[in-house]
Amino acid sequence: MIHVRMVPASPFARKCRVAAAHLGLSDRVTFVDAHDDSNDALRKRNPLNKIPVALLEDGTALFDSVVILEFFDHLAGGGKIIPSGFRARMRVLTLEALADGLMDATILLGYEARYREPHQYSQRWLDHQRSKIDGALAYLEAAPPNGDIDAGTISLACALGFLDLRHGGAWRASCPKLVAWLDDFAAKAPSFEATRAAK
């Protein structure tokens, strides 16, 4: 059995959970809440002390979510969520990178409040992260992805879900095409709703 250390609210962990379910790997992969791990225990698995981390049967640790999705695709036979053709592969991986950047910027906004006192907040830093979010959303709203379920669209759905979780869905008012796209994705991928975090 492959064990993936994660926290339920993480969008990077959620994309792994959605991918595993979509690929039919539920009997081979189990997800374990890493809240019970000490920092030292997690660091032994990933020196960056970040989740998710996949622990293989032979003790090998895979990180981060990009590598884990590639591994899941391999387990499922290959070419399922990451195309084998060069151009299609580049399209999917570019969308995944954009979605991951959207997740990162959203997380970094929260970190400013979590790890710094209010008088230490940097408005310039906050504006910089918000500009990344706004830029990514504008780009995607202008040309939403196709209806495929792949590593890119799974990542984007989880990024938008994380914006809903942390910012109350404020992005939706200015992105009706993306809202419609996300609704369509959720209808095609039941694991997306099943992995929704409560907080």
The boundaries of every CATH 1.20.1050.10 domain in the chain are 86-189
What pLDDT, in 10s, does the model give residues 1-55?
A: 999 999 999 999 999 999 999 999 999 999 998 876 665 566 678 888 889 999 9
60: Cβ contacts below 8 Å, ≥ 6 apart: none
The pLDDT value recorded for residue 61 is 94
Q: How far apart are CA 148 and CA 185, in angstroms?
A: 8
CB 162 within 8 A of CB 103: yes
The pLDDT value recorded for residue 177 is 98
Tokens of 193: 């709703």
The boundaries of every CATH 3.40.30.10 domain in the chain are 2-75
CA torsion sign, 50 to 195 to 113 to 39? negative
What pLDDT, in 10s, does the model give residues 70-111?
A: 999 999 999 999 999 999 999 999 999 999 999 999 999 887
Task: Quote the CATH superfamily of domain 2-75.
Answer: Glutaredoxin (3.40.30.10)
Would the pTM count as exceeding 0.75? yes
Q: Return the amino acid letter for 23.
A: L
Give the chain's length: 199
Pick the CATH number of 86-189 from 3.30.1110.20, 3.50.50.60, 1.10.3720.10, 1.20.1050.10: 1.20.1050.10
